[in-house]
Structure 1
Amino acid sequence: MTGIELKHVTYTYPNCSDAAVKDLNLSVAPGEIKLVTGASGCGKTTIMRLVNGLAPQILGGSLSGEVSVNGLDAAATPVASLAEHIGTLFQDPEAQFFALNVGDEIAFALKSRGFAPAAIEARVADAARRMGITALLGRDIHALSEGQKQKVGLAGILALGPKALILDEPTANLDPEATEALARLLGELKAAGAAILIVDHRLYWLKDLADEVLVMRAGEICRRGPFSMLEDEALRAEFGLRRAALADPRTRLPRVPVAPLGAELSRVETPARLGVKNLRFAYPGKAPLFSAVSFEVPAGITALIGDNGTGKTTLARILTGLESAEGDFSLDGESLGRDGLMPSAGLVLQNADHQLQMRTVREEVEFAMRAAIGMKAAAGRSKRFGLFAGLRRAALTADDEARIDALLSALRLSHLAQRHPQSLSGGEKQRLVIACALVKDPAVLILDEPTSGLDGANMAAISALLKAEARKGERGRAVFLITHDLELLDACDRALDMACVRAAGRESDALLAEAFRGAGAQTRA
């Protein structure tokens, strides 16, 4: 048949005794969308690798049964040839980038397949328009936000016009508005006859799109049926699934007051833990992202919200000392240097791979704790040498080991303690870097899309953990959540809206421009 079909498929990765998927039967006909969901590690990503030929052609392992795409044997057809029939959007879009420039990336596969220059130009323009990224065509691909990268990855697939698509967590880094736009686009592709297989933890956005839902556990399809079956709360609890319907909590979250240059900052209802005054920052050659804006944040959970590319991740890097910016920073009313927050802050990056470097899961958390101890020991000494000296000497106490045990347990990682971090699933890596941040006992904790690869059960566990961590200690923590995840936003106490930050910045720019005009007039007089 045309489309995607798996018949009695069992697959085992190399050097593994247990099959990753067992006796799978699944088909996606032209004009259909099928959703595969289930708890982390249930075998969803393996299905994707089987369909696009990566397993077993690239990854090795043993396969029984039949996997076909548009009538082609996926295990025997070279991956490059199979890619002409099926487009794959990986969970981490950077894994499939080859070019440095957005336009070049979208055009890359077209050029490699010999399309005429005029056709390439037209296809790139059309794909960029459909994904709403025309303004990004000349941008450095590595300077984009993760959500923008996600759009670029999908634009590259759309430009090729494949008859089948498989999308792995396609909304993980998208804001709710971009998610709605993606749903509309997939509806158009479905109507045009594409066979689309979606692997995702987020469910609500597919309510009116999915023709069938398949729920997996331990490599097997355990439930299948219409989307309406996901409305059964007992079923979702049994399989650790996310909610099937959501209200947008952004409308009810109180906003953190943001003041422009010279304006009095409205006081928050509780004492501020973190204060930022007259923050200024711009990337070289770019317009300012932050123009003399001020705000204060108390203990508790504050959502950083805004469209993709509005500066949320940049603000997180500034607050943790990874980017140098102008302005005054304070913690509990005490002034700090530009990078003075670094010893008091913990950061969870959007791409967990960027923070993993040790041989085992437990060693990652132990290293993070030793780094925190070394940072404190380095206070007053040379940062360059004091930190590493602290790392070498730092010995963990019984209380430290107990803290590590408790975090691994709370984040459902205890059984993975001796695994290599790079062998974990995306959701498991995400939980690991959260453990590494929390073990430092930071006053300010910043998490950038911490639930992008998490199932319902693990997302609920992290939500509960963050609520508890925000209340810990005498003063509590100031927890920042950079998230587009509507389910996680339910855990937040307030929101710092990038639209408000930008508006305050425009006011500051206007005040400065007026001041310069006035000064110029006085000079001429």
Structure 2
Amino acid sequence: MITIKNLSFQYSTEEDFVLRNIDLSVHQGECILLCGKSGCGKSTLLKIINGIIPEFYQGKITGSVEVAGMNPFETEIYKISEKVGSVFQNPKTQFYTTNTTDEIAFALENYGVEREKIQKRLKEVQETMHVSALMDRNIFALSGGEKQKIAIAAVYALNPEIFVFDEPSSSLDMDSMIELSKLMERLKEEGKTIVIAEHRLWYLKKIVDRAVYLENGKITKEYSMEEMQNLSEEERYRTGLRHTDFSGNAWKEKSAILLSASEKHTDIEKRSFVSRLFKVEREDFAVIRDSSGNALELEIKDLLYKRKERTIFRIDRLGFERGKIVGIVGKNGMGKSTFAKVVCGLARQTTGEICKNNEGISVPKRRKNSLLLMQEINNQLFTDSVYDEIRLTSAFKEEEQLCTCMADMQIDQLKEKNPHSLSGGQKQRVVILSALLSKKKIIFLDEPTSGLDYASMKVVAKNINKFKAEKNLILIISHDMEFLEEVCDRVLFFPL
């Protein structure tokens, strides 16, 4: 299905080649994992397979590529997209409508599929991907994970021969990752070919046939999933490859259930959700209703947030201790990101109080004292160089101090580069460091590791821990359990 011979590619904006002498063959029905550290060329290789390069990105190309019998350098992209379906890391970049049902039907309409067949296909997609609850909704009112589900469903509806996935799990909760795993199994059974660039590996353990490892734009090795599972910690750090198993054992001491949003589910059902995720007994989790009695930086009392008539979340009483790193996890669409906006003063609660020392903190004061790092990192890059980006929000202004911090985050070599030209994982490290160096005392990070390999994740965890004494509170929304286990003092669960 895919034959690549001696391929090299250099972006017109870059001095060096991003891909070098790539040779790769992918057979029908295979699932191939592209892996390697952030910036190694995985996404660029996917863009060549699906024709985005050279259609939208200019540069120097040598070598040959054949995809489903077509040369993507000479074939119009609409013809390629009949055979190759793509799911990008940021789902917003591939939406064409504002309604979820319209979005899933959009490609089918473009190819002139009859209305009755479109309706039939929509029902099949709903049943297979379990997205019935997301149908006929405003796309921009969805959570990041829900948007990702719609993007995947829209590609699945077209039924291409080759599926290309770029970090598809970046915004998905654990249940949704398991659903994605089952979908990929089904695609393989149907004889579809899958090429996936991904850092989180545990949900792909039984699907991937072989892993192709890229380093500095070259294919340097191929792994079986068994070989990846048996890597030493030193090899894992050197290669950036994540674990293929997740045990969750360290969560028993950190975890608690945050009682909030849903009026439909009992406490027992909420605890059951946590137990299913981490395979532990219910009594291992304490239900948090009141603060622990230690010095508190933030107190929440009877907090309710409604969107129109729908309750997004409700929290009876909750306290956050000073100098702690707290993780917040839960299923997609449960209001975690909205909770962050309310705490940071970017959205106003319907009722309830956010306090410190029993005094309410006004919305303007919350805005002044807090910083929210959102999922959409491209919306938070403002300058023409990485150095200027870091300096923009930094409490430090001396170049020596800034360069030391950049070296600690391993982005000092990117100092002069335009932030928008970086890989997803490199952008993440830039905006995370910008947040940590700010004067803000409360920092909310929303999915900060979506594009990070194992080594980069470790670096980010180390830097966050280094700054937690200076920041009064760091709150992290994430589905990256491996990262949260590394960095958090405590983990709260939003309910089903």
Cα deviation, 1:92-120, whole Å, max 9, x if unaligned, reads 11111100000000111110110001111
Matched, 1:40 2:63: no
The residue aligned with 1:363 is 388
Cα deviation per residue 1:238-266 (whole Å; 9 max; x = unaligned)? Answer: 212222221135852331665899x9953
Report if aligned partners of 1:10, 1:64 keep a CA contact under 8 Å in 2.
Answer: yes
CA apart distance, 1:227: 1.2
Deviation of 1:278 after TM superposition, in Å, equals: 1.5
Contact 2:288 2:318 in 1 (8 A): no
**How many pairs align?**
466
Partner of residue 496, structure 1: 492
C-alpha distance in structure 2 between counterparts of 1:430 and 1:306, whole Å? 22
Deviations 1:404-450 (A, max 9, x none): 33332222121212221111111111111111211113221110000
User: SS of the residue aligned with 1:496?
Assistant: strand
CA 464–53 in structure 1, closer or farther in 2 if over 3 Å, else same: same
Equivalent residue letter for 1:237: Y
**How much has 1:267 moved relative to structure 2?**
3.1
Q: Identity of paired residues, percent?
A: 30
Equivalent residue runs for 1:150-229 within 5 Å: 150-229=148-227
Structure 1 runs of 4+ with >4 Å offset: 256-261
Who is 1:296 aligned against? Answer: 319
Task: Give the residue type in structure 2 aligned to 1:331.
Answer: K
**In 2: Cα distance, 1:259 partner to 1:483 partner:** 18
In the alignment, what sits opposite 2:479? 484
Q: Distance in 1 between matches of 2:490 and 2:30?
A: 40
C-alpha contact 2:291 2:317 (8 A) present in aligned 1: no
> Aligned to 2:32, what secondary structure does the other structure show?
strand
Query: 1:49 maps to which residue?
Result: 47
Check conservation: 2:240, 2:454, Cα contact below 8 A: yes
Q: Which residue pairs with 1:331 in the alignment?
A: 356
Asked whether the 8 Å contact 1:4–1:164 carries over to 2, the reply is: no
Q: Do structure 1's residue 232 and structure 2's residue 231 form an aligned pair? A: yes
TM-score, normalised on structure 2?
0.89
Secondary structure of residue in 2 paired with 1:433: helix
Structure 1: gaps spanning 5 or more residues: 371-395, 503-525
Contact 2:7-2:63 at 8 Å conserved across structures: yes
Counterpart contact for 2:329–2:491, Cα < 8 Å? yes
CA RMSD across the alignment: 2.2
Structure 2 CA distance for aligned equivalents of residues 462 and 288 of structure 1: 34
1:38 partner letter:
G
Distance 1:98 1:250, change over 3 A: farther
CA–CA separation in structure 2 for the residues paired with 1:118 and 1:494: 51
Separation (CA, whole Å) in 1 of partners of 2:12 and 2:121: 39
On the 8 A contact 1:350/1:449 being kept in 2, the answer is yes
The answer to whether the 8 Å contact 1:469/1:477 transfers is no
Give SS of 1:186's match: helix
In the alignment, structure 2 segments of 5+ residues that lack a partner are: 264-286
**Which amino acid in the other structure matches residue 297 of structure 1?**
F
Partners of 2:397 and 2:445 lie apart in 1 by 27
Rounded Cα–Cα distance in structure 2 between residues aligned with 1:194 and 1:265: 49
What do the CA deviations read for 1:174-194 (whole angstroms, capped 9, x no partner)?
111111111111011001100
Q: Distance in 2 between matches of 1:193 and 1:409?
A: 46
Deviations 1:279-336 (A, max 9, x none): 121113x411133622111131111111000000000011111101132212355431
Work out whether residues 260 and 314 of structure 2, in 8 Å CA contact, stay in contact via their aligned partners in 1.
no
Residues 194 and 313 of structure 1, relative CA distance in 2, 3 Å threshold? same
Distance (Å, rounded) in 2 between the aligned partners of 1:26 and 1:436: 38
8 A Cα contact 2:313 2:334, kept in partner: no
Instruction: State the partner residue of 2:344.
Output: 320
Question: Could you tell which deviates more after superposition, 241-250 or 91-100?
Answer: 241-250
Amino acid at match of 2:480: D
Higher radius of gyration, 1 or 2: 1
- Cα drift, residue 15 of structure 1: 4.0
- Aligned pairs (5 A) from 1:398-417: 398=398, 401-417=399-415
Choose 252-261 or 70-79, whichever is displaced more. 252-261
Please give the alpha-carbon distance, in whole angstroms, between the structure 2 residues aligned to 1:147 and 1:52: 23
SS in 2 for 1:120: helix
* 1:276 maps to 2:300: yes
CA distance in structure 1 between the partners assigned to 2:243 and 2:153 by the alignment: 28
**2: CA distance, partners of 1:487 / 1:317:** 25
Code of the aligned partner of 1:495: V
2:5, 2:63 within 8 Å by CA — same for their partners in 1? yes
The answer to whether the Cα contact below 8 Å between 2:258 and 2:494 also exists between their aligned partners in 1 is no
Aligned equivalents of 1:270 and 1:254: distance in 2?
Answer: 17
> 1:257/1:482 Cα in 2 relative to 1: closer, same or farther (>3 Å)?
closer
